[in-house]
């Protein structure tokens, strides 16, 4: 933790580590990337005291930041490597893109809300993170003209298996996305590209917002 952190922040991070270790081993590189990324800086001051909690926390545009435990589990499952090219669907606060940028080669993060994209850019710049590109775009179909990506992660749910993302992946690449109905629980699926098909491994249950087509006209 850097010198600007509070006792509250350090205690919150320590509690996160205990929860994660209770669920199994946690890659050291992931812990270091989380520790180097000040989560409070991605949240309204109201939520600084619970920044490292497993709660969904409100951000701008009526959206929410996923709990730290879920973010850590998903990023760990991506098994990022230094040269990887990553597509993130759902920039949100920008926290997960900032973490992944410390573990991968290049991250392209997209969101339907211009406000979120602009705020995330400012945060990346303030942290000196230069290998992230943030842009406003419709993530419902991925980024078909910019692949292939080695890893794709979505923070909003698809109602069915997003097979179209297969074409945007490099061979052996991985997609992690929630799949399931708009109302109720969804399964977080890890899909690995093998030839012209996916191998699927389910890694958890979540309740996230459905992916919305198009971009927001105003915010």
- HEC readout, the chain: CCCCCCHHHHHHHHHHHHHHHHCCCCCHHHHHHHHCCCHHHHCCHHHHHHCCCCCCEECHHHCEECCHHHHHHHHHHHCCCCCCEEEEECCCCCHHHHHHHCCCCEEEEEECCHHHHHHHHHHHHHHCCCCEEEEECCHHHCCCCCCCEEEEEECCEECCCCHHHHHHEEEEEEEEEEECCCCCCEEEEEEEEECCEEEEEEEEEECCCECCCCCCCCC
Give the pLDDT mean for 40-46.
96
pLDDT at 3: 44
Domain of 67? Answer: 7-206
Asked if residue 212 is part of any domain, the answer here is no
Asked if residue 2 is part of any domain, the answer here is no
Indicate whether this model's pTM tops 0.85. yes
pLDDT at 2: 52
Asked if residue 177 is part of any domain, the answer here is yes
- Greater confidence (83 vs 218) lies with 83
Encode pLDDT of 177-216 as tens digits: 999 999 999 999 999 999 989 999 999 999 999 999 999 9
Asked if residue 218 is part of any domain, the answer here is no
Evaluate if residue 132 carries a pLDDT over 60: yes
Domain count, the chain: 1
Asked if residue 1 is part of any domain, the answer here is no
Categorize the per-residue pLDDT at 5 as very low, low, confident or very high, splitting at 50, 70 and 90: low
């Amino acid at each position: 933790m850097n010198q600007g952190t509070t006792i509250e922040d350090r205690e919150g991070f320590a509690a996160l580590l205990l929860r994660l270790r209770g669920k199994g081993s946690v890659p050291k590189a992931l812990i270091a990337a989380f520790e180097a990324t000040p989560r409070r800086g991605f949240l309204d001051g109201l939520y600084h005291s619970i920044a490292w909690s497993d709660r969904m926390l409100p951000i701008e545009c009526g959206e929410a930041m996923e709990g730290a435990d879920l973010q850590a589990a998903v990023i760990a499952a991506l098994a990022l490597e230094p040269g990887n090219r990553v597509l993130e669907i759902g920039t949100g606060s920008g926290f997960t893109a900032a973490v992944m940028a410390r573990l991968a080669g290049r991250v392209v993060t997209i969101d339907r809300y211009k406000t979120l994209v602009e705020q995330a850019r400012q945060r990346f710049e303030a942290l000196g993170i230069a290998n992230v590109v943030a842009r406003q775009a419709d993530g419902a179909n991925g980024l078909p003209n910019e692949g292939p990506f080695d890893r794709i992660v979505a923070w909003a749910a698809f109602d069915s298996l997003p097979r179209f993302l297969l074409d945007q992946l490099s061979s052996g690449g991985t997609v992690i996305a929630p799949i399931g109905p708009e109302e109720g629980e969804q399964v977080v699926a890890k899909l690995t590209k093998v030839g012209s098909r996916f191998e699927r491994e389910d890694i958890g249950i979540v309740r996230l917002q459905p992916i919305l087509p198009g971009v927001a006209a105003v915010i």
